[in-house]
A and B are shown apart, each in its own frame.
Chain A
Amino acid sequence: MYLTKEEEGILEGEKGPVLEKLMRLLARLGDIYGAEKMIPVGSVQVSGVSYKSVGDPGLAFLEDMASKGAKVSVLTFLNPAGMDLEDWEKIGFPQDFAKKQLKIMNAFKKMGIVVTSTCTPYLAGNLPRFREHIAWSESSAVSFANSVISARTNREGGPSALAAAVLEKTPEYGLHLDENRKPDVLVDVSCKIESDADFGALGWYIGKSVKSKIPYFKGLPSWSTTDDLKALGAAMAASGAVALYYAEGLTPEAHLQDVSDIEKITVEEEDMKETYAALNSGEKPDIVILGCPHASIRDIQKVASLVNGKSLKKPLWVCTSRVMKEAADRMGYTDVIEEAGGRIVADTCMVVSPIESMGYGTTGCSSGKAAQYLPGFCKQKVVFNSIESLIKEVL
């Protein structure tokens, strides 16, 4: 790969060991994937934030970087932490866990990263523009940025995103190049799509089938919202490695794609039925957790209207970003949900928080992504259904 004089200098240690290590990682990735050069990035999303995800090795890695003076030079946001960073004590997150989590947050803050802690940075103040080159991790945000916004990013790993944030560049390969962004499988949606969970189930099924290919959806409802598209993309990125999809009439560059001569998959009612069966491993939820990816204000509004004046028999968490929580507080949605016995949990989510050690065994969720991760990572049985059905279940 071609490196500028300045980049070569960094690689030779002219700007200290931290930059050298990070440049080495990017240069190696560039060489492996055939990049010709580095390109500037407009923003970064860093994953690997929860102590539960990165553990002591991750904490040590991040503290080492921060203490050696690593500083980001481009707008950089963070993925969810393992707990609500303000209300963790009240909600009952374990003390020793919290201590480590706060250390991780401090290391990120020291590096100049905006400690937003959300998997939906595009709803919280980090919104790339059309065709902007960015370096994002968080598989669901990568999918959203590439597909719904039509920005350009590879699926960065946590550390490679961090390297891009500090160096303000990324090697130009993969989805940064237009020739690698062509769809290679046409998905004909001939099943009914009616609820939020249907988008998650469809995404989970397609991710499993196409793995890392680029699907082009035909037949998604014209009323699909950005929340629906985020759910679809998140599920595909969790059950597979889909980093980019197109949806006819819904995503910005779909009409520019040629799909006349590509492999075709038709999704029938039967496929959806099987998917629901595969995702449902539990009977009765001990807790219902919504907001994977983080709930939008529209999602929160919906939950508030469903529980308004009612009393929940089981805990209900709505996970969201601090920014959306503020709006929900102001609108009174938080009060409505709390009066019913639920709560809005900010900065974290069910997958990265230690729910298995908080006494829960079966979790209800409407997210295909959550349904993928809960059994392995949180040792949960799963009840997978729409928001409406899940809330009915616990009223």
Chain B
Amino acid sequence: MGRMISPGKATADAIVSDEPIGFYGGVDIETGIVIERGHPLEGECVTGKVLVFPRGKGSTVGSYVIYGLEKNNVGPVAIVNEETETIVATGAILAGIPCVDGIDISRFKSGDILTVDADKGSVEKVGSKGL
């Protein structure tokens, strides 16, 4: 069981990064596309996905980017981390995006369908895309 960072439930396809994400300069606030050069998710879109990554990095403006993604309707539907630091936590809380940490993310890969129940601190694989 993980820890609830921001409450709520969601089920969607996962997009998984084994590298940290810095939202500011890393994810485009208008489109939800990852723009950090050389990032494993570069060019992919986080919109409507369960976004799984180990932890945040980089700028403290990241909170506003997460908030902005949600307000622009291009945000992820849930966030799953090994460890959520303050920047991502603040963004998720303000945006109202369900967020859980304390999760072993190596169990998941992009395309898995995940159910996140942040209130319970749980993340479960319920299927795979295309199956």
Q: Are B90 and A29 in contact (CB under 8 A)?
A: yes
A294: shortest Cβ distance to chain B, in Å?
Answer: 15
- How many chain-A residues does the 8 Å CB contact rule pick out? 43
- Shortest CB–CB separation between residue A141 and chain B, in angstroms? 9
User: Is B44 interfacial (CB-CB < 8 Å)?
Assistant: no
The answer to whether A137 has its CB under 8 Å from any CB of chain B is yes
Known: A154-B86, A157-B86. A58 touches B67 (CB 8 A): yes
Q: In the assembled complex, which residues on chain B have CB atoms less than 8 Å from the CB atom of A181?
A: none
Beta-carbon nearest neighbor of B3 in chain A = A32
Is B24 a contact partner of A240 (Cβ separation < 8 A)? no
Majority DSSP secondary structure for residues of A touching B: helix
B72-A54 in contact (CB<8A):
no
Please name the residue on chain B nearest to A374 by beta carbon: B25
Residues of B within 8 Å of A160, CB to CB, are 63, 86, 90
Is residue B71 within 8 Å, beta carbon to beta carbon, of the partner chain?
yes
Number of interface residues of B (CB under 8 A): 38
A138 contacts which chain B residues (CB < 8 A)?
A: 60
| A-B contact sample (14 more), CB < 8 A, given A28-B6, A47-B59 | A28-B89, A55-B30, A57-B68, A57-B70, A61-B94, A139-B59, A157-B63, A157-B64, A159-B67, A240-B58, A372-B25, A376-B25, A376-B26, A376-B36
Interface residues of A in 48-88 (CB under 8 A from B): 48, 53-58, 60-61, 79
B35 touches which of A47, A79, A377 (Cβ 8 Å): A377
A103 within 8 A of B: no
Give Cα distance in the complex from A53 to B3, angstroms. 29
Contact of B64 among A32, A58, A154 (CB under 8 A): A58
Contacts of B85 in A (CB 8 A): 155, 212, 241
